[in-house]
Amino acid sequence: MDLYNLIKREFSEELLDRFLRYAAIDTTSNMAVSQKRIPSTEGQWTLLRLLESELQAMGFSDSFLNTSGHLITRIPGNPANGETIGFIAHVDTSYDVPGKNVRPLVHKNYSGGAISLADDIILSPANSPLLKRYKNETIITSDGSTLLGADDKAGIAEIMTALSWISKNKSWTHKPLEIVFTPDEETGNGMSCFPREKIRSSYCFAVDGSEEGEFEIECFNAWMAKISFSGYSIHPGSGRGRLVNAVSMAAMFVNMLPRNESPEATDGCYGNYWAQEVCGGIDGTELTVFYRSFDSEDIKRRSKALESLARAVEAAFPGGRVTVRLREQYRNMKEALGKYPNLIAHLRKAILDSGIQPIEKSVRGGSEAALLTAMGVPTLNTFAGGINFHSRSEWIALPAMVRAVAVILNLMK
């Protein structure tokens, strides 16, 4: 029997149980807190400590959890030689939609039709065509009131199940391994205090992709703009010619962002901008804008455009001030990974050997693969199987998770 079917027969229930347990823990990250403290939320510590105890229970005791929530575990090779291979996944979930009180729903023998969730959310092949692939299989969704958390608790469950396989199959041949679980990937700040000096891996695989069979060697260049609007507050009864409303300044700025360059209006190789968060009042308001592009020159253009919008808002609100602070979040990893064709070939073969064709994609987002690659550890992103990340209609198919485990074990060899 091939590896995929062996895992499906012997480890499907364990894999599903792991994912459901991890998904139920609220690990929503917090952007504001993450700029001061990593991990940004207590729930991430809860999951990290659980993973640490489960790794030790499997017999993998060479493990440490540092004060910034990075859990690193080393596993000797069998035989104990060769270069070390790393696997990485993140414990936090997106703050874009609620992640507290996640109640996963398991749809066994999925009929192939529409699934009704809370708040009139309908999940069906009409709005999520990949569902057609998994008719009569097991599908997992949230109840519709929250996200599911497959990004990236599916990746965690798959790595942990692969390690469970190793612990129960002592003769399984594999290279020395390094397992890394990290916090605050969704805020972009979790790797800011990553202990690079502790990493022994020659290369790494992030299990944080989407569609079954997919892998990624290219991602967006990602930047963040913190835009501060300083107004002048005075009683509105005497505000004529004197009051400068920072909220109105921020609203004008957001409305000037080109709608045809928003995430909802672009796909393929096109970059975008979007307003991520706004807070404040008349006297002062702060706006966070994210912007993305595969092209580094286009990022420079977008940075200049944001500065130009700031000056336009100042001109429209005499007495007001606009300050723009720009920060890089991660870089397109394609240029660096192009130097490692053998690594890309290994991942292609691992997916092919699991029984399906590999699908190379450019991801319109990013992951810790890009950040770790920039630190000098070439890291490819491989699929975890989740669909509709960062939404209440997020779902995952159990066969895709089984396939991911097979790919991980193939890579470990």
Catalytic residue among 152, 178, 185, 186: 185
Domain(s) labelled CATH 3.40.630.10 in the chain stretch across 3-219+332-412
- Portion of the chain with pLDDT greater than 70, in percent: 100
What is the residue-averaged pLDDT of the chain?
A: 95
Q: Is the pLDDT of residue 368 over 90?
A: no
Q: Tell me, letter by letter, the H, E, C secondary structure of the chain.
A: CCHHHHHHHHHHHHHHHHHHHHHCCCCECCHHHHCCCCCCCHHHHHHHHHHHHHHHHCCCCCEEECCCCCEEEEECCECCCCCCEEEEEECCECCCCCCCCCCCEEECCCCCCCEECCCCCEECCCCCHHHHHHCCCCEEECCCCCCCCHHHHHHHHHHHHHHHHHHHCCCCCECCEEEEEECCCCCCCHHHHCCHHHCCCCEEEEEEECCCCEEEEEECEEEEEEEEEECECCCHHHCCCCCECHHHHHHHHHHHCCHHHCHHHCCCCCCEEEEEEEEECCCEEEEEEEEEECCHHHHHHHHHHHHHHHHHHHHHCCCCEEEEEEEEEECCCHHHHCCCHHHHHHHHHHHHHCCCCCEEEEECCCCHHHHHHHCCCCEEEEECCEECCCCCCCEEEHHHHHHHHHHHHHHHC
Q: Is the pLDDT of residue 119 over 90?
A: no
pLDDT of residue 1: 64
Class of CATH domain 3-219+332-412? alpha beta
Model pLDDT for residues 202-224, shown as the tens digit of each residue: 999 999 999 999 999 999 999 99
Mean pLDDT, residues 336-365 taken together: 94
Domain(s) labelled CATH 3.30.70.360 in the chain stretch across 228-329
pLDDT of residue 188: 85
Model pLDDT for residues 149-171, shown as the tens digit of each residue: 999 999 999 999 999 999 999 99
pLDDT of residue 79: 87
Q: How confident is the model at residue 100 (pLDDT cuts 50, 70, 90)?
A: very high
Q: What CATH fold (topology level) applies to the domain 228-329?
A: Alpha-Beta Plaits (3.30.70)
Mean pLDDT, residues 276-283 taken together: 96
Model pLDDT for residues 174-189, shown as the tens digit of each residue: 999 999 999 999 988 8
pLDDT of residue 367: 76
Catalytic residue among 92, 216, 218, 394: 92
pLDDT of residue 31: 87
Instruction: Tell me, yes or no, if 185 is annotated catalytic.
Output: yes
Q: Is the pLDDT of residue 380 over 90?
A: yes
